[in-house]
């Protein structure tokens, strides 16, 4: 669903982002969901909290992560490494999209998910859910457009 959100956000509405830049944003978001970031130590990358961590602490860590990735984006753009820059920004966008998902919102606790819970978690992050909930889709699109705008000021 992340790829759909990114494509929806930047394929229209006055955003003139190339298809290769959109693909790089998508690669960055996919990287955030890779297996090396699927643990409680990286829960902030998914708008979730680690066990024994408050939602406020996790949200603060998420903001720090996003700002670090935005700074990386700016540095890479200045160095002429546009593809890598957009990948960094895609990683920054990932927790913003997750934060609007029913499986993540409110900085839910990250835990080792039994198979049945994993299936329920995944079922709340489908294109069907995204397309069926106008508020979810609007909030996701608005959030990543806002960070894109912030990164390009």
Per the structure, the complete domain to which residue 42 belongs is given by 2-151
pLDDT at 114: 46
Distance from C-alpha of 51 to C-alpha of 90, rounded to nearest angstrom: 26
The count of residues in the chain is 153
Condensed to tens digits (0 to 9), the pLDDT of residues 75-132 reads 999 999 999 999 999 999 999 999 988 777 788 888 766 444 544 555 556 666 666 6
- Give percent of the chain above pLDDT 90: 63
pTM: 0.87
Q: How many domains does the chain have?
A: 1
For residue 107, give the 3-state DSSP assignment: coil
Condensed to tens digits (0 to 9), the pLDDT of residues 119-146 reads 455 555 666 666 667 787 889 999 999 9
């Amino acid at each position: 669903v992340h790829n759909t959100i990114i494509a929806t956000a930047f394929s229209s509405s006055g955003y003139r982002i190339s298809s290769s830049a959109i693909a790089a944003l998508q690669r960055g978001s996919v990287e955030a969901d890779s297996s090396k970031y699927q643990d409680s130590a990286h829960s902030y990358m998914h708008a979730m909290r680690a066990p024994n961590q408050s939602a406020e602490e996790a949200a603060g860590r998420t903001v720090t992560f996003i700002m670090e990735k935005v700074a990386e984006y700016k540095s890479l753009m200045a160095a002429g490494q546009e593809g890598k820059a957009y990948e960094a920004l895609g990683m920054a966008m990932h927790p913003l999209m997750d934060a609007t998902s029913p499986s993540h919102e409110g900085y839910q606790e990250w835990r080792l998910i039994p198979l049945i819970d994993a299936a329920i978690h995944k079922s709340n992050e489908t294109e069907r859910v995204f397309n069926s909930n106008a508020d979810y889709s609007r909030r996701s699109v608005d959030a990543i457009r806002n960070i894109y705008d912030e990164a390009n000021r």
